[in-house]
Amino acid sequence: MKGGAAYLDVGGVAKRFRETPVIRDLDLQVRAGEFVALLGPSGCGKTTLLRIIAGLLAADRGRVTLDGADVTRVPAHKRNVGVVFQNYALFPHLTVAENVAFGLKARGTPAGEIAGMVARALALVRLSKYGSRPIFALSGGEQQRTAVARALAVRPKLLLLDEPLSALDRKLRETMRMELGHLLHDLGITAIFVTHDQDEALVMSDRIAVMNAGRIEHFDTPAAVYARPATPFVLDFVGTSTRLRGTVAASDGDELLVDTAAGRVRARGRAAAGAAVLVAVRPENVRVGPGGGNTLELKVRDLVFLGSKLVLHFHAAEGDQAVAELPAGSTEGLAPGARVTVSWPVGATLVYSVP
C-alpha cells in the first residue's frame, strides 16, 4: 500500500451553480503517489471537482487539505497544484520552451536554472528538440506532451488532468495512456485525472472514483470496481453485464432466491422477502451449458464475433439485458433464435436493492 494518511483530503465539499447542485457532500481521500481516475458521464461534476481541488473555483462548503495543509482558502497560484487542461491551454504567443518555463519564471526561479529544468521537463516527454517551436506548429500529441511538461516543470504537489487524451485519435490515445501512466509512476507524482472513457480509467489508474450526479458512488481499485460495482449505476457505466429485475421470493440467512422474468436466480445477500431487487453477473462469468449455481434458458438474439472472443446477446424482458462472453471456439448451436442454457456460479451474482 502506498502512503498512509491521505495526501489529498477532500471533505464534505458541495457546490451549486445558480440553483442546480453540481456536487453534493463529496469526500475523497487520495494517498501520496497514487494515480486516481475520476470517471463519470458528462455533467456528473467531475470537472467541477477538479477545479475546486486546483483552486480555480471555491466550493460552497467543505474543506480541501493537501499534504497536511488546509488549502481551502488558498488561491490557485499559491497552491502548487498542476493542471493539464482538456484543450491544453498552451500560451499561443510563446514557444514550447517558453511555455514550459512559464511557471518557473512566475515563481522567480533564477534564470540560470530555468534552462536546465526546462530541458529536463522536455526530455521527460521526449520533446527535447522542440524547444524553439511555436505552438501552432505542433500536432495534437505534441501539444499534449508540452502541456504535461509545463505542468511538471514546477514540481507540483499534485497533478490534475482534465480528459487529457480525449482530443487524440485512437492509436495515439492508446500509446499515450501507457506513456503517461509510466511517466507519472516513475516520478512518483500523485495525480488525478478526469475521464468519461472507462477503458482509460481501468487501464491507467490505481483507484477509480465513479461519479454520478455530484456524488462518488464507488471508489476502489479497477478490479474491485469491475468485479463488485457498488451500485447499479457503476455496474452499467463500467463494463457490461447481464442484469435482471426481480423480486425476492425467499431469503435464508445470506442466501436469496429471486424471481425474474427469465427464471429463478440465487444470490448471496440480505433482503426481505418481497423486496424489489436487481440481480446481475458479468458476461465473462457466464458459460453455455448447465453448470453449478444459476441456470437459465435463454434465446439467442445476436452473435458478435470479436476475434479472441464471442459475445452472445440474448432476448430479455423489457428493461433487462442478458449478455455472455465466451472464449473463441465452436459456435455450434449458437445461431440467432437458438435456445441455449447458460449458467454461472452463485457467488458471482451481484444483487442490488431497487428503491
Contact set with another protein (CB under 8 A): 54-56, 75-83, 85, 87, 89-93, 102-103, 105-107, 134-136, 150-151, 154
Q: Give Cα 170 to chain centroid, integer Å.
A: 18
CB nearer to another protein: give 83 or 258.
83
CB nearer to another protein: give 56 or 114.
56
Number of residues that this document lists for the chain: 355
The H-assigned helical ranges of 2-160 are: 46-54, 96-106, 111-124, 140-153
CB of 133 to another protein, least distance (A): 12
The H-assigned helical ranges of 164-253 are: 170-187, 198-204, 222-227, 232-237
Is 297 in a helix, a strand, or coil?
A: strand
- Cell, residue 156: 507540483
CB nearer to another protein: give 26 or 83.
83
Q: With contact defined as beta carbons under 8 Å apart, do 246 and 259 qualify?
A: yes
Say if strands 69-70 and 61-66 run parallel, antiparallel, or are unpaired. antiparallel
CB of 108 to another protein, least distance (A): 9
Q: With contact defined as beta carbons under 8 Å apart, do 26 and 62 qualify?
A: yes
CB nearer to another protein: give 107 or 126.
107
CB of 13 to another protein, least distance (A): 19
CB nearer to another protein: give 91 or 305.
91
CB of 158 to another protein, least distance (A): 10
CB of 249 to another protein, least distance (A): 56
CB nearer to another protein: give 77 or 339.
77
CB of 159 to another protein, least distance (A): 10
DSSP state, residue 52? H
CB of 293 to another protein, least distance (A): 52
- 82, amino acid identity: G
CB nearer to another protein: give 2 or 107.
107
Residues 6+ apart with CB under 8 A from 183: 124, 125, 148
Q: d(Cα 352, Cα 281) in Å, to the nearest integer?
A: 11
